[in-house]
Amino acid sequence: MRQNAEAPDTASSQARPLSYTDLQNDSLGYAIKRAQVRTYEALFRILGPSALSPARMTALSIVATRPGVNQSELAEMLSITRAGVVKIVDALGSLGYVRRQSIPDDRRSYALRVTNSGLAELRRLNGLMQRHERQIAARITKAERRQLMGLLEKIATE
Amino acid sequence: MRQNAEAPDTASSQARPLSYTDLQNDSLGYAIKRAQVRTYEALFRILGPSALSPARMTALSIVATRPGVNQSELAEMLSITRAGVVKIVDALGSLGYVRRQSIPDDRRSYALRVTNSGLAELRRLNGLMQRHERQIAARITKAERRQLMGLLEKIATE
DNA sequence: TATTGTTATACTCTATAACTATA
DNA sequence: TATAGTTATAGAGTATAACAATA
């Protein structure tokens, strides 16, 4: 039995219900979170269980678009620590999608490069992402989608 | 040195950059994710480091609005497992915010109740949440906010 | 001295599986 | 048999701190 399972029913431990207007109602933050969770669920359904995690997909995508980037820069772009990037690059490396290229100029760091097989995987993922994008926007018009993106951008801008 | 640090620069491990139109561009899913991350950052700034996690806040709020709920029902509402709820209720219990009330009808389960101090904390959090809501919507009009919430709701509906 | 990559370690969140006590 | 709560365990994901090699 839990420590607090049998607390006495005193006045100080008893409370009446809050109204529903609290914390979960008419909250923009909650609406954004809910939409994000739902779209991630849809994304996982499309990508399948063995796919790269979204964070690793993003990392792969960054290396593809910024060839030669080093791990510290990648950490900055992903907003995680350098230690975290080591694991991601290790994982992408052991899948054969990314490699660490030694550079003579600075022997402390590596130039990250996407391999051909990494590029192929990225293209495959891209196709799935396009399907996903179509799916999550299926219930809104093109104009609404443009509007939504604009508003979300305003929210994301500090 | 890493396993893949010195891979030979063969044709099959070399790849040219993708265009920027991939994975990170014009993606509604990415825009939602970005907005969610930014609003969470703002939320943590307002709540401070010692506050309840959003998930625990939600749990506390559910118990407050649905007094007598049991842990399995709470798990369902939070979309997590019963095992996960145990930890949350333990944590809220040891903070004195929630208690497990024995019920004679079914000695397997507990009726969860918010304590007065839990209610007080919830009210305090509510004030901070209102500030947060005002802050994240500061750059859009009321009409835009309503529009945004409606569109997000459409996205979240399968 | 500062930077890059790395390791060791820890913490949060969540999951699965197996257990207990009740129903 | 089924359900409610619990425990043990594990796997992501992320963080901090300390370190070696290099600048």
pLDDT of residue B40: 94
pLDDT of residue A17: 58
Q: At B99, phi and psi to the nearest 5?
A: -130, 155
CA of A37 to C1' of D3 (A): 29
Confidence of residue A10 (pLDDT cuts 50, 70, 90): very low
How far CA B130 is from CA of A21, B44, B47, B127, in Å, comes to 11, 14, 11, 5
* Structural domain boundaries in chain A: 32-156
Strand D nucleotides within a 7 Å radius of protein CB atoms = 3-8, 12-18, 21-23
CATH assignment of A32-156?
Answer: 1.10.10.10
pLDDT above 60: residue A77: yes
Residues whose CB is less than 8 angstroms from the CB of residue B54 and which lie 6 or more positions away in sequence, other chains included: A33, B40, B43
Q: Which of A24-33, A120-129, B117-126 has the lowest mean pLDDT?
A: A24-33
Say which residue, B18 or B125, is predicted with more confidence: B125
Average pLDDT taken over every residue of chain A: 88
pLDDT of residue A158: 74
Helix boundaries (H) for B12-79 = 28-47, 54-65, 71-78
Assign a CATH topology to domain B50-130: Arc Repressor Mutant, subunit A (1.10.10)
Average pLDDT over residues A90-103: 97
Chain-centre distance for alpha carbon A132: 14
Confidence of residue B50 (pLDDT cuts 50, 70, 90): confident
Nearest CA in chain B to A125: B23
Q: Which of A9-18, A105-114, A130-139, B28-37 has the lowest mean pLDDT?
A: A9-18
pLDDT of residue B11: 37
Residue of A152, A156, A93, A14 whose CA lies nearest to B3: A93
> Could you tell me the two tokens for B45?
């700034």
Tokens 């790269």, residue located? A52
pLDDT above 50: residue B89: yes
Say if residue B25 is exposed, middle or buried (CB neighbours under 10 Å; 0-12, 13-18, 19+).
exposed
pLDDT above 80: residue B12: no
Q: Choosing among B3, B6, B33, B45, which should be mutated to test the A contact, i.e. which has the most A CBs within 10 A?
A: B33
